[in-house]
Structure 1
Amino acid sequence: MNKVIIIGGGAAGYFTAINAKENNPELDITILEKSGDVLQKVKISGGGRCNVTHACFEPKELVKFYPRGEKELLGPFHQFMTGDTFEWFDDRGIPLKIESDNRVFPEANTSQAIIDCFQKAVDNLGIKVLTNHGVNSVYQQDNKWVINTKEETFKADKLVIAAGSSKKIWELCETLDHSIIPPVPSLFTFNIKDKRLTDLLGTSVPNATVKLVGTNLETSGPLLITHWGMSGPAVLKLSAFGARILAEKNYQYNVEVNWLSRSTNQIVNVLQNLKKKEPRKTIILKSPFEDISKRLWERFVLYSHIKETQNWADLSNKQIESLANELTKGVYNANGRTTFKDEFVTAGGIDLKEINFKRFESKLHKNLFIVGEVLNIDAVTGGFNFQNAWTGGFITAKALAEN
């Protein structure tokens, strides 16, 4: 009987174990989890509802959401994709639903449904789960893997590392000669103190374009003003794709915001038309753009040196240009970052060049498999990191099931 040890009692570890045992019931599988609890990240994901995946069904489109791992995941996504995730959970009595922003959740609307599904499966399949079994060392001896924990020593024919982004696990992988790309934070909001944003907590726009000044990096999507600065999908996406650049800048940087995702010339034309059509109306009283709230509009007007009492007829060309620039290319200084909710994500991990992605197997050691966020793979928010876990776990399981 082949003995398999899986380090990590999270989403990737459980998914790997369940699929491997279903593919080959003869496997003897044990999951080792360092803490007293398992599946904690699943529990808090999506505000406690578990954002299982994202409703993107084309591999070439799906990989674009991964700042690191885009090239490597294309092949794996052709093997196990979003639609397969829907089918996998549906077959186990956990139907999924697509929400308006294309995030996918269990119909039960609670992460406990996913946790219960996994726990039921490991119980039915006879997979052992040992908590409080932090791994201290791993090495090979006589074609076997030797895994030492504080509690006991295990020997295995095949070893899976699925412990997420953990400094201790990365150090463990370095003892196996794997290279670690130094981790830096990803998925964070921008700390911005600017009088244009003061007291506008909760104000949002549906489609802003945010650019990192001095680079070609820009992203679009909803933007939210918070008490510490800016958040929302557009900002989080930029933080993910710019993770390494922002770390190098020590989180001191400028962002340019196009609040309407329209050209400056288009906005100038709108403002000039308003000057002709509504000459006697007071500029500050009403936003002419449905995506810009009255309070936000007031800030932009005043910041463009337009008086509170000024009418459209009195608007100079210089003021029109200033207001159009404020709406389409306003620059904000960011100083620091704030972690997005409880879902701390890092850019970094095991160098992807050292992994065979047809099997998620180490190129350095036969029968060593590495899956999930321990690899230098990460994604924007929206269920993509879980899809990486499901895909990697499924492919690893197929490789484990081979005799």
Structure 2
Amino acid sequence: MSFETISVVGLGYIGLPTAAMFASRKKKVIGVDVNQIAVDTINQGKIHIVEPDLDMIVNAAVTEGYLKAVTRPEPADAFLIAVPTPFLPCEEGDIPAPNLSYIQSAAKAIAPVLKKGDLVILESTSPVGATEQLSAWLAEVRSDLSFPQTHGDNADVNVAHCPERVLPGQVVRELVENDRVIGGMSPRCSERSVELYKTFVLGECVVTNARTAEMAKLTENSSRDVQIAFANELSIICDKLDINVWELIALANRHPRVNILQPGPGVGGHCIAVDPWFIVSKTPEEAKIIHTARLVNDSKPEWVVNKIKLAVADFLQANPNKTAQDITIACYGLAFKPDIDDLRESPAMGVTQKIANMHAGRTIAIEPNITKLPEKLTNVELVDIKSALVDADIQVMLVDHKEFKEISVNSGIVIDTKGIW
């Protein structure tokens, strides 16, 4: 059975590019999102996120009539769910647990329009067992249809998990070129999912079961988290021993079997800072290294804040005629990684917010990829690079955007968490 109409639920950093890629292959695509502004923007042929080349693809898809956005699902042959999977509220020090309410809401939204022969794929990064839970939620609403947990290959509706694994800033290219891990709840579910993704995917579609596919994505990001934790811990050790950590890493990496990553102010984003907790929350006794890595990376922003506090004290000692209120602190970068506008789980955001809350003087932020600050950054001014270089007494490098690599800082106290100055 071919897929003539494809619905993508969730039009964010993954859903919208995915919808656009199907539409670019002349498939009718219905994008679904609860955000009316996003829906209206897309229907104008524009985009509400920053991603290179995506604007051209979306504009062409909308103009040619292959892509439209709506707030309520409509009938389709395949449904891809790409909604957030944040944490449930928890006390400080507790292990965060995943919040599947967005997936549940998506299931309830698409269930009324499902029909025999449809395919449902969960793309959201999810804890092990989430795809089975999604299928169970669908079955609760649509008792007139059969699902793979009870009917296997003979189910009326096929269900699978296929996690996204793309790099922000290179999503369009990687959606096409990267291999995909496809975990169906039955062999038939996997077979039909491969058929769907081969509409535009040039990489290999590797088939496994749903639970292994879920764990594969969590494993990829947990591996990165552990490696970054080693680099971040090394940077703290080197600071104490008065060693340049970037020079040290460059020397160590000359060994043919060593590849240490670069340290920073922490770990951010919707994947690496989140996914390891899905493993830890499920198997807290077994996930010792993964848990420790999370604690190391989550504590790094506070270490940076303490370095800034010491810098303020050093400045006041060197300038006894001034008070803390006279000091301007510049925070370079708010995104969770270079050259994008994505602020989700950003350690740079966390550092900037803490500085603004505690500092009596001005806290200014330089983020070339956004035009206005998020509401939670109260007491922070968004300024350009030139103003920051002139006004700031303490310069804090948090994100190595390309614009920052082109400047040199010749005044004030410099705290460089990325090793570019």
Work out which structure has the larger RCO, using CA pairs closer than 8 Å and 6 or more positions apart in sequence.
1
When normalised by structure 2's length, the TM-score is 0.27
- Larger gyration radius, structure 1 or structure 2: 1
When normalised by structure 1's length, the TM-score is 0.28
Q: Which has the higher helix share?
A: 2
Q: Which has the higher strand share?
A: 1
